[in-house]
Amino acid sequence: MRIKGDIRPPGDKSITHRSLIIGSLAHGETLIIRPLRSKDILSTVNAIQSLGIDVDTNNEEIWKVHGGRTREPDDVIDAGNSGTTARLITGVLASIEGVSIITGDSSLKKRPMARIIEPLTLMGASIMARGGRFLPLAVKGNRLKGVSYSTKVASAQVKSAILLAGLAAEGITEVIEPAKSRDHTERMLTYLGASLKIDGNRVVLKGQQRLSGREIHIPSDPSSSAFPAVWAAATDGSELIIRDICINPTRIGFIDVLKRMGADIKMVNTRYSSGEKIGDMVVKGHRLRATVMEGVEIPGIIDEIPILSVAAAFADGETIIRDAGELRVKETDRIAAVVEGLKALGGNVDAMEEGMIIKGPMRLHSGNVKTFGDHRIAMAFYILSKVADIDINLDDMECVDVSYPGFFKAMEALSD
């Protein structure tokens, strides 16, 4: 089923999270223009409110954060399903005097937290965790000292937790990653007045800098944009314009993959807003070919691999995805979820420990698909149903509200 039209996806989830959290640490008022209102984002709103920060979300288009002095929360902070909330807020809690407890839902409680516990402990925080590495966490804030820390995985959440703690620490904090992860935190810290040094995969931050509130314009989320983009790219006769998409180089790896697969994609009307590069993406349907996704590009496409797997299902040849073991510790095991879903529909796909082999083009049939409560799995298989023109029964459609409220309605409006 081809797709025609013009769409402006919701505001970027990563940038909305950071505008709230970093805005809460800035002096004065931060105005967040066109924020994403989703379950994950509301978890962050509730978290910073529990730290004594005044947040006004009554206007759908403009939120106000009155930043300033944070305090020990009166109650347990519930991060819900949001790993970003849990990890970044823990970085803030590390310097707040008193004891804070942060937890999450059953899915988030299975996700690894040792990767932030270790560096924050080295900086001076005292953290207790269930099993030594899972939520809930009890965080006793202390006076922190900067560290030089090399992360084991390229993770924007881990890097951001360390940098947010480093903002309150004495001295210099240095984070070195094995590959460059999303850099929205660095961009926003700079935009609100901090001075950082960035050299490839290395970020250096001087502690105890003063931030000042500003207007932050939230661009369209590229991860959400990837779903209609793949629908258009994989169907002959389709033509789609995606407006105001964030084209930060650390976020558009999926576009490079689709172009490598033969997709007809052009960026127009590019410009800068609030420290981020944005533009309009024009996608036309074209026959796709298989590719290999591996190595240093994986951190930049980790959230888009489920929908890129859908593109691979309709591409000529064998697509191989390697080095993506991080997918197994997302909201669900996304490697297993994609493989199980494709096989349920008659697809030819094999799982590997850190990836999968997808053999296209597939001739698929209607069927039932388990989402495992994962928003990206649900949206990916919905798009697959449109490209293949088959009926798929998803066991959980509400989970998309985590990142893209109104997703199904928006996609139906694009059906030609």
Q: Dump the DSSP string for 392-411.
A: EEES-SGGGGGT-TTHHHHH
Q: At what angle do helices 156-168 and 83-93 cross, to 10 degrees?
A: 20
Q: Could you read off the pLDDT of 40-57 as tens digits, one per residue?
A: 999 999 999 999 999 999
pTM for the predicted model, two decimal places: 0.95
C-alpha closest to that of 86 among 137, 159, 155, 154: 137
Q: Is there a contact between 217 and 191 (Cβ–Cβ < 8 Å)? A: no
Where do the structural domains in the chain lie, given as residue ranges? Answer: 13-217, 220-412
**Strand, coil or helix: what is 152?**
coil
CA dihedral 31, 404, 53, 90 (to 10 degrees): -130
**Are the CB atoms for 309 and 358 separated by under 8 Å?**
yes
State whether the Cα torsion 271-273-278-280 is positive or negative. Answer: negative
Q: Give the C-alpha separation, 23 to 192, whole Å.
A: 8
Instruction: Please give the positions annotated as active site.
Output: 303
Query: What is the CATH code of the structural domain delimited by 13-217?
Result: 3.65.10.10
The highest-level CATH class for domain 220-412 is: alpha beta
pLDDT in tens, 156-192: 999 999 999 999 999 999 999 999 999 999 999 999 9
pLDDT per residue of the chain (416 residues) written in tens, 0 to 9: 899 999 999 999 999 999 999 999 999 999 999 999 999 999 999 999 999 999 999 999 999 999 988 999 999 999 999 999 999 999 999 999 999 999 999 999 999 999 999 999 999 999 999 999 999 999 999 999 999 999 999 999 999 999 999 999 999 999 999 999 999 999 999 999 999 999 999 999 999 999 999 999 999 999 999 999 999 999 999 999 999 999 999 999 999 999 999 999 999 999 999 999 999 999 999 999 999 999 999 999 999 999 999 999 999 999 999 999 999 999 999 999 999 999 999 999 999 999 999 999 999 999 999 999 999 999 999 999 999 999 999 999 999 999 999 999 999 999 85
Which helix or strand (DSSP H or E) is residue 318 part of? strand 317-321
- Is-same-fold flag (13-217; 220-412)? yes
Q: Which two tokens stand for residue 89?
A: 């807020």
Q: What is the DSSP letter of 124?
A: T
